A and B are shown apart, each in its own frame.
Chain A
């Protein structure tokens, strides 16, 4: 047979492609549940790392099952919130329901388009609150988690991941512990033009809501900055609502204490 004829070439190439596509589709379907379980455990370990429970390597060491158990034990509540800051629905704790990266992608599109969105919040029994962020880096999506302590005025920690940023440059958002360590003790300030900033050339020392960008990774740093600000904007109503509720609570407590004191002085005078 003439293997160089056009008809043969076209038929041969088509057959090879169809066959390869079929094999890949079959394998992908076959392995999907396992891969999804791994991805879920990975996301949970990222949330736990951002919350400051332990370093990322620890979760790998103890394995998927133990990581998910730890998450269930220490989770106070996980729920989604709307643009108005209202709690929409609760995420099942027993099933360790979380928003996967692809869920975040869907919500990110809604946030950017100005449509209604539902984004997850994870609160832990030690008072830490974790929120996700998602955006575009240089080559692909970047995402991650920011955690706040009980006062919501201090960032407790952060963890970021990416799909295809350059290793050693943009990849540092994930691999460089020094970059992530910068987040601790910072805060989010909605009064500024940017609630949080990643500054190229170094953040001013007196600015609490800014950190240094990564050298050699301008576009990834910019992308992450945008991701953080977009999502902080989306969480604005929720976070401010909680801070106000906390302030009102503190005020009420102070008022109650003052009243109790006044009552005490009164009884003393009466005596």
Chain B
């Protein structure tokens, strides 16, 4: 096979893995502190829309990204209040967020953009890292991308450091494993959970910004297309660690990129089957790996002070 095709495939893998990685990092933040978040899908979708709208009206991509982050954070705050304050079943709360996202984006997309020609914004500029981008083979795969792809790679390592090498990370993990013990040691369980969930939501917001501002430059109905859920599978596959989740996201991203590539090659497999690849892979991975993968012990359980 042509070298250019292989390079293109791997570069596309990284691009396709980006929203999945961000979603998985968002999940890691939440679940490590003990809150399950299946609302990541909805957070992505809503911030994809608000980020796009903000960029469209302000003419600034940065404003768009800021609004997307804020949207993710706000929805996560809602999730946190429902789960922590009102002790709502966390999966139901996530479902509320997901349903709300469909309604809100559908409603305001019609209110704001209906009747006009489909508007678009310019996607974020492609950046070539000097020197590194010129390395043969590796350069074009790793170092010629748009900004959110780079940010995501940096975030993977940043989240790893925060979780495993800072006092905050230690507190987070303590709260996620044994909130009662953490509480006894004077850690404010609720505060840790609120902050982690909101930070996680902002990361999901960045994933939303990626979908509209970096990938296509416009908003499409239901464009998150299950990525928030695949991201959760990546989180599980990566054993709730940022680097592991990144690896899993790359695998799913590869499946997606391969589907895109094979569709271009037109080898006779209907595109619908290629489109199924990442979802099928997710199921296989979940079924194959779960017995050996243990979530944070207190994940999914509300904490009540005595």
A and B together in one complex: no
